[in-house]
């Protein structure tokens, strides 16, 4: 009896403590976990982590005052890598104060260089229609409501005063013309190859090619498109094919590149590269007033219905005078030297650095 009288209060105390802990700590914790995991059925409460196609609205967006993005992604040594980072669909399209000027130029290029600027195979129509319908009917009016407004049958562009049809035309060429004339983005669409080995460029609108004729790439596999790029096959060819195979619907990735051009042409279907055996002027006089750092912002995603892959490119041109004034001239000069010090030394020749390199470095360091 003395044993029970001694231990009964102790056991009762521990039992009460366990009940209090479960009631005031464990149960509330479980309720919070349950509440956080419960799905929301309110369309205006969508979680972008759950819905990858959630588009954040820029309610006060003014394209006339929005500066272009700045890319200063040069490094002391050039290494050929995919260099991919994840981004969101909200960030897919970029619009800035150059928008209307670039649209005017794009329309001129489509008119005067139509075959180079736009091509589409019959197989790509469904993918072009899917991309167009989503951009015009959902993305643009949701992301930029101050610029794009939906009507029952069209999308009104306040900058151009044009009305874009909500339904894509029957001809995918016409559909790509509309996209290329209303967005400052180039689009390239790829489908799996018929032989199951890689991806083929089946349709595109590219008004600002960076030194290549896109028509010559039309119908080629990804690896053949990049055939002239030094080190592509050895360094990243297989990795690119594997990544394309694994890229899931709902994910969008981003990369950027840089080059130097000794002209201000956004449409450059040739002249930005050197190839083996090609002669070049080593002592070419460079006009630094007309020399630019050219960067491409590139995104890649897979369409949910047709499963086509979509590249979107936006091109930026920065005068090297601007680079120097920013105080990063030495960094760019080192990056130019680093073209032949990295994993693919031939890149200096391919990017025509053997032509403009000395003069540009001298200017940047002066």
pLDDT for 336: 96
Cα radius of gyration rounded to whole Å, the chain = 27
Cα distance between residue 73 and residue 66, in whole Å? 21
Cα distance between residue 236 and residue 63, in whole Å? 37
pLDDT for 281: 74
Q: pTM for the complete prediction?
A: 0.84
Within a domain: 335: no
Within a domain: 134: yes
Cα distance between residue 302 and residue 284, in whole Å? 43
pLDDT for 37: 33
CB of 299 closer than 8 Å to CB of 185: no
Cβ-in-10-Å burial (0-12, 13-18, 19+) of 165 comes to middle
pLDDT for 235: 85
Helix ranges, 69-160 (H): 99-112, 114-117, 125-134, 140-143
The residues near 276 (Cβ < 8 Å, ≥ 6 apart) are none
Number of domains in the chain: 1
Q: For the sheet with 186-192, list strands across it.
A: 85-87, 252-261, 292-302, 309-319, 186-192, 199-205, 118-120
Domain that holds residue 237: 67-283+295-318
The residues near 221 (Cβ < 8 Å, ≥ 6 apart) are 193, 197, 198, 199, 200
Within a domain: 83: yes
CA dist 216 → 201, 204, 209 (Å)? 11, 12, 12
pLDDT for 46: 39
Cα distance between residue 232 and residue 188, in whole Å? 19
Within a domain: 275: yes
Within a domain: 273: yes
Within a domain: 22: no
pLDDT for 272: 84
Backbone angles phi, psi at 77, to 5 degrees: -130, 140
Cα distance between residue 163 and residue 142, in whole Å? 16
Within a domain: 352: no
pLDDT for 49: 55
> Which region, left, alpha or beta, applies to residue 117 given φ > 0 means left and ψ of -120 to 50 means alpha?
alpha
Location of structure tokens 């089946």: 202
Structural tokens at position 167: 């339904």
CB of 302 closer than 8 Å to CB of 281: no
Mean pLDDT of the chain: 88
**pLDDT tens by residue, 231-251:** 888 888 888 889 999 999 999
Among 252, 303, 247, which residue's Cα sits nearest to residue 89? 252
Structural tokens at position 122: 């019959």
pLDDT for 181: 97
Q: At what angle do helices 125-134 and 172-182 cross, to 10 degrees?
A: 40
**pLDDT tens by residue, 96-118:** 999 999 999 999 999 999 999 99
pLDDT level of residue 19 (50, 70, 90 thresholds): very low
User: Is residue 224 scored above 60 in pLDDT?
Assistant: yes
**Which is higher by pLDDT, 13 or 56?**
56
pLDDT for 20: 43
Within a domain: 47: no
CB of 179 closer than 8 Å to CB of 206: no
Cα distance between residue 347 and residue 286, in whole Å? 20
């Amino acid at each position: 009896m003395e044993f029970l009288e001694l231990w009964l209060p102790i056991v009762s105390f521990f039992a009460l403590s366990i009940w209090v802990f479960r009631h005031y700590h464990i149960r509330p914790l479980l309720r919070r976990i349950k509440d956080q995991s419960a799905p929301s059925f309110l369309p205006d409460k969508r979680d972008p982590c759950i819905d990858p196609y959630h588009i954040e609205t820029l309610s006060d967006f003014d394209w006339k005052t929005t500066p272009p993005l700045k890319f200063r992604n040069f490094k002391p040594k050039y290494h050929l890598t995919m260099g991919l980072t994840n981004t969101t669909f909200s960030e897919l399209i970029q619009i800035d104060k150059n928008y209307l000027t670039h649209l005017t130029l794009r329309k001129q290029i489509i008119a005067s260089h139509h075959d180079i600027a736009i091509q589409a195979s019959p197989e790509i129509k469904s993918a072009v229609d899917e991309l167009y319908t989503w951009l015009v009917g959902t993305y643009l009016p949701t992301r930029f409501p101050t610029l794009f407004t939906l009507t029952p049958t069209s999308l009104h562009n306040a900058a151009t005063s044009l009305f874009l049809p909500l339904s894509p035309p029957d001809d995918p060429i016409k559909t790509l013309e509309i996209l290329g004339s209303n967005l400052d983005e180039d689009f390239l669409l790829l489908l799996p190859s018929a032989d199951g080995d890689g991806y083929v460029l089946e349709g595109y609108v590219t008004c600002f090619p960076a030194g290549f004729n896109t028509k010559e790439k039309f119908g080629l596999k990804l690896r053949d498109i990049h055939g002239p790029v030094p080190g592509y096959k050895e360094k990243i060819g297989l990795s690119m094919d594997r990544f394309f195979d694994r890229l899931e619907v709902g994910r969008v990735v981003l990369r950027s590149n840089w080059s130097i051009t000794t002209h201000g042409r956004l449409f450059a279907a040739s002249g930005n590269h050197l190839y083996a055996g090609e002669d070049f002027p080593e002592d070419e006089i460079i006009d630094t007033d007309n020399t630019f750092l050219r960067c491409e912002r590139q995104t890649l995603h897979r369409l949910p219905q047709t499963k086509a892959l979509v590249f979107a490119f936006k091109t930026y041109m920065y005068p090297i005078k601007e680079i120097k004034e920013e105080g990063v001239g030495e960094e760019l000069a080192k990056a130019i030297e680093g073209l032949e010090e990295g994993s693919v030394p031939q890149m200096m020749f391919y990017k025509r650095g053997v032509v403009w390199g000395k003069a540009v470095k001298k200017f940047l360091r002066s």
